Amino acid sequence: MDADTWTRLSEWHNLWLDAAPDERERLRRGFVADHPALEGDVNELVLAGSIVPGFLETPALACMLDDLAVEEAAIAVGTLVGPYRIVECWRVAGWDRCTGPPTSASVVTWP
Amino acid sequence: MHRPSGQTADLTGLLQAWDRGDASALEQLAPLLQAELRALARGILAREQAAHGWQATELIHEAYLRLLGWRTNNRWQNRAHFFFTTAAMMRRVLVDAARLRQAAKRDSGVVPVSLEAIDIPAPQQSVDVTAVAEALTALAAVAPRASQVVELRFFGGFSVEETAEALGVSPRTVNADWNTARAWLARELLRQGICGR
């Protein structure tokens, strides 16, 4: 798609959005009749807008709040914590599996 | 936010270097901003646990209060400069953070579940920030102004009016670009089998 095509599509798309529901199909057919090569783009734009209403309305920062709040792994695999050695990261949020001499059992740490 | 004087000096130098066009300065600024945003996110969610709700607009406001703290050490050329600079930084930092989390989920073999997300209503949306950023780069080749509108509004969190001011166009033009750009980006993500809201 080039810049001119984008401009034509965008002008039509906004007219279509502003139109009453019963006007929209007439606008779509009229545009496609004038620009048959853009029929696929027109139909896909209309479809995409209806499938994902509200798309991008929430700012990226708000979308990612949970991900940002998660701490990075505090202790690297292989690190000795007292008598224990971290052998596996179970969860990025903090649970690690360790083994050590007192019981030779797996335990978890919470950094 | 209190910072050691050395870190303040670093921020000033990095912001000025980036202003002068030194792209490598952003490499060093990104982790500093990411640390700020992580602290902000933890604070917001802690308050949420204490039953104080939050709104996306308040979150953005608080984030930029932190960035305005940076501004005291840096001379923004004008408001438009601030909007463009911060939106570009936010895009970079949030995409980096999203990639880190995606890699961590793949490596750990488990899907971390946020306790906060289970029972607390918040304006959370499911969207693949990384995929949006990649599609936005493709959009920039076709419609650069519309791409800037999305960067300012989605990644920067700026209002229609602020975006119009930054771009020197009318709010009506911003809305027109925004409408079609969102549909275009949604189409690109749907083509890739990535859905989002």
User: So what's the ipTM on this one?
Assistant: 0.73
Q: Chain B residues with CB inside 8 Å of A2's CB?
A: 142
Q: Distance (Å, rounded) from C-alpha B82 to C-alpha B79?
A: 5
Task: Give the residues of chain B that fall short of pLDDT 50.
Answer: 1-6, 72-73, 110-125, 197
Q: Which residues of A touch B179 (CB under 8 A)?
A: 10, 13-14, 17
Mean pLDDT of A59-84: 72
Percent of chain A with pLDDT over 90: 36
State the maximum Cα–Cα separation within chain B, in Å, rounded to a whole number. Answer: 49
**pLDDT for res A69:** 78
Tell the residue number behind the tokens 């090569």, with chain if given. Answer: A37
B66, B1 Cβ separation under 8 angstroms: yes
Provide the pLDDT for residue B107: 58
Say if the Cβ atoms of B116 and A66 lie within 8 Å.
Answer: yes
| pLDDT score of A93 | 44
Q: Do B37 and A69 touch (CB under 8 A)?
A: no
Q: Which residues from B are below 8 Å from A43, CB to CB? A: none
Q: What is the pLDDT of residues A4-52, one digit of tens each?
A: 999 999 999 999 999 998 999 999 999 999 999 999 999 999 988 887 7
Mean pLDDT of chain A: 77
Which pLDDT value is given to residue B44? 76
Minimal C-alpha gap between B132 and chain A (Å): 9
Identify the CA nearest to B80 among candidates B162, B173, B169: B162
Q: Is B197's CB within 8 Å of A55's CB?
A: yes
| Residue A96 host element (H or E) | strand A96-99
In chain A, whose CA is at the least distance from the CA of B90?
A: A61
Mean pLDDT (whole number) for A102-109: 51
Interface touch B37/A61, C-beta < 8 Å: yes
How long a stretch of residues is chain A?
111
- Is the pLDDT higher at B82 or at A100? B82
- Predicted pLDDT at A101: 52
In percent, how much of chain A has pLDDT > 70? 64
pLDDT at A74 over 60: no
Contact B195 A10 (CB under 8 A): no
The pLDDT score that the predictor gives to residue B188 is 92
The rounded distance, in Å, linking the Cα atoms of A61 and A67 is: 10
- Higher-confidence position of A99 and A83: A83
Residues A62, B125: C-beta atoms closer than 8 Å: yes
From the list B60, B112, B187, the residue facing A59 with the nearest CB is: B60
**A vs B: CB pairs below 8 A:** 164
Nearest residue, CB atoms, A14 vs list B101, B125, B176:
B176
